[in-house]
Structure 1
Amino acid sequence: MNKQVQVHGALFLVALIYGSNYSIAKEVMPVYVGPFGLIIIRVVSAALFFGLLSRVVVKEKITGWADNWRSVACGLTGIAINQLCFFGGLNLTAPINAALLMVISPVTVLLFSALLLKERVGSRKISGIVIACLGAVLLISSSQSANVPGNWLGDVLIILNATSFGMYLVLVKPLMAKYNAITVVSRIFAVGAVVVVPFGFNQVLAPDYSSFPGTIWAAILFMILGVTIITYLLNTWALKYANPSLVGIYIYLQPVLAILIAVGFGKDVFTWQKAFFALMIFGGVYLVSRNKPIPKKAVEHTSSS
């Protein structure tokens, strides 16, 4: 099979798994397992898997005071805060709201890059930030209406989740450049597991697991193997052959698939109001993500030097 076809297949599968997670997770929580208990099951399982993979396959350690503290910060932002806010928010709000609000992650990445890495932010990107944030605020405000599925507190938690993940992407970049990716992810999942256990300890002990139907066990297994482990391995492989713009397209495909799945299975409704706010969010993210084209003369000069 052609390598590009394999890459597209891997990225589409990742988007499909993430898109499915919004509706599948709602089947499990809070009726069978509380949101924080579900986090423990997912994060601890992934920590054990990647920890074993790191020890057996990679056999590399993060060294130095600065890198170790950075890995702790990545575990807090990329796993602990990220997961606590995501599942806490998804437990309260509608799947479509959560999927749309997650798209603002590139906006938060830009903001933290400007604050922490001192990257320059032009007027076009500032406009994109304003438009995307306004769309998110309007979507949250609409959730206060009794006629619109959603919950404003859940929406805010999803925003905090996207913000935390944006900070994580900025913090983890130096570690990914220095160490094997499995070494880094093994450490951050280990840190995340230690932090989330106190939050969901009671919730993970409360359920009567013997009473769970097979469909719920399948959903939990899907979140452990599919959403956490398989997506990471597929993304890591695909990024070796795919350019960032292609990956970006599939990231934006996630909420589209999430909407189709949620509406198709009757888990949510997609209103014209949500569609308008979604266009604002996507439009703002596009302005933030679009790189300014390089002038033709500059390209010619670069290629000749």
Structure 2
Amino acid sequence: MNNNTQTRTYAYVAAVLYAAIIGLSFLFVKMTVSVAHPIDVLAHRFALSLLVVSIPVIFGWIKIKLTLRDLWRIIPLGLLSPVLFFAFQAFGLVSSNSSEAGIIQAMAPVFTLVLASIFLKERTSIMQKLFLLLSVAGVVFIFLMKGSGMSAGNFKGIALLLLSTVCFAGYGVLARPLAQKYKPMELTWVTLMVGFVVFNAASLIRHVSNGTMMDYVKPLGDASYLGALAYLAILSTMFSTLLASYALTHLEASKMSVFSNLSTLISIAGGAWILHEPVHGYHFIGALLIIAGVLGTNMSGRKRGLVIPDKA
């Protein structure tokens, strides 16, 4: 195995781990927003994740060397994700369940393919497009068979989750060129800092205006909340950002995004196992379509001109 092949293999492993972590994150978000306000959850989440990721920086184990110009280039990435992505997701999950969130998130490859072709000039083969659509078809099949009622609250939640997915796609497209210029740790630290500042400022303003400052710390006394928060802050926020940054250094945005469909399977499995959400036969049929689409998208179209050269 040559170095380039080995590097891409590691990138695929990172993408799979990322998909698994994000897939489970939906149900942990659902658990936290049932205890605290979504803005407070996000404020706690990014405060903890920034604290953890800053430890090696403070002790000098990892060097962050960024100019003011570099920061201005990365900040828009942080606004797409974590700020808009997680904000829409958290508020969307208030009136939707974790399975629906995973299903809607699986539409991200379609948005990413369009945006990547426009802004990054990424080229994909006809077979890749067909396999991508096959994966999306699996998601749509599950959603239609599920037959969820479209109440006003449910529709609002789904609309917010859809906006979250668009932001996720935009993040993947914008992160691709940045990941080839900056180290994964640099991108992670800046984007987490953006999330920390925005969400804690929003939470502070909300509590000061309502005279409810004690409500900011009250959820921290709940053991189950702290457990879910630890997963979201350390794995789903900090570690997943590192994984995504590394994978996008070596994989095209369109290929990376299709792994979000694996998150759908993890979301459904996690929802059934932990939250006891029902799982039916059509989930397994949809799962097969999704997996086939993911594998096909990443294994087909490997001919000259379809792959963006990796960073030297």
Pick closer, same or farther for the CA change 1:97–1:74 going to 2, 3 Å: same
SS at match of 2:76: helix
Of 25, 31, 37, the match for 2:29: 25
User: Partner residue of 1:303?
Assistant: none
User: Partner residue of 2:279?
Assistant: 270
Pick closer, same or farther for the CA change 1:181–1:277 going to 2, 3 Å: same
| TM-score, structure 1 as length reference | 0.72
Of 193, 197, 200, the match for 1:194: 197
CA distance in 1, matches of 2:217, 2:253: 44
Please tell me whether the aligned partners of residues 54 and 186 of structure 1 are also in contact (alpha carbons under 8 angstroms).
no
Offset at residue 214 of structure 1 (A): 2.1
CA distance in 1, matches of 2:129, 2:257: 20
| TM-score, structure 2 as length reference | 0.71
The one-letter amino acid paired with 1:59 is I
Please tell me whether the aligned partners of residues 175 and 245 of structure 2 are also in contact (alpha carbons under 8 angstroms).
no
Following superposition of structure 1 onto structure 2, how do residues 31-50 of structure 1 map, counting pairs within 5 Å? 32-50=35-53
- Residue 161 (structure 2) pairs with residue 158 (structure 1): yes
The one-letter amino acid paired with 1:78 is S
Please tell me whether the aligned partners of residues 92 and 161 of structure 2 are also in contact (alpha carbons under 8 angstroms).
yes
User: Partner residue of 1:58?
Assistant: 63
Instruction: Give me the CA root mean square deviation.
Output: 4.4
CA distance in 1, matches of 2:20, 2:141: 27
CA distance in 1, matches of 2:112, 2:301: 18
Please tell me whether the aligned partners of residues 75 and 189 of structure 1 are also in contact (alpha carbons under 8 angstroms).
yes
CA distance in 2, matches of 1:210, 1:129: 41
Please tell me whether the aligned partners of residues 74 and 191 of structure 2 are also in contact (alpha carbons under 8 angstroms).
yes
Following superposition of structure 1 onto structure 2, how do residues 117-196 of structure 1 map, counting pairs within 5 Å? 117-120=120-123, 132=136, 136=140, 139=143, 142-145=147-150, 151-196=154-199
SS at match of 1:58: coil
The one-letter amino acid paired with 2:27 is S
Structure 2: segments with no counterpart, 5+ residues: 1-5, 306-312
User: Partner residue of 2:230?
Assistant: 221
Deviations 1:151-203 (A, max 9, x none): 22222222211210111121122222122221122112222322333443337
- Residue 131 (structure 2) pairs with residue 103 (structure 1): no
The one-letter amino acid paired with 1:29 is V
Pick closer, same or farther for the CA change 1:9–1:278 going to 2, 3 Å: closer
Please tell me whether the aligned partners of residues 179 and 249 of structure 2 are also in contact (alpha carbons under 8 angstroms).
no
Offset at residue 93 of structure 1 (A): 0.7
Structure 1: segments with no counterpart, 5+ residues: 299-305
SS at match of 1:269: coil
CA distance in 1, matches of 2:72, 2:31: 37
Higher mean Cα deviation, 43-52 or 126-135? 126-135
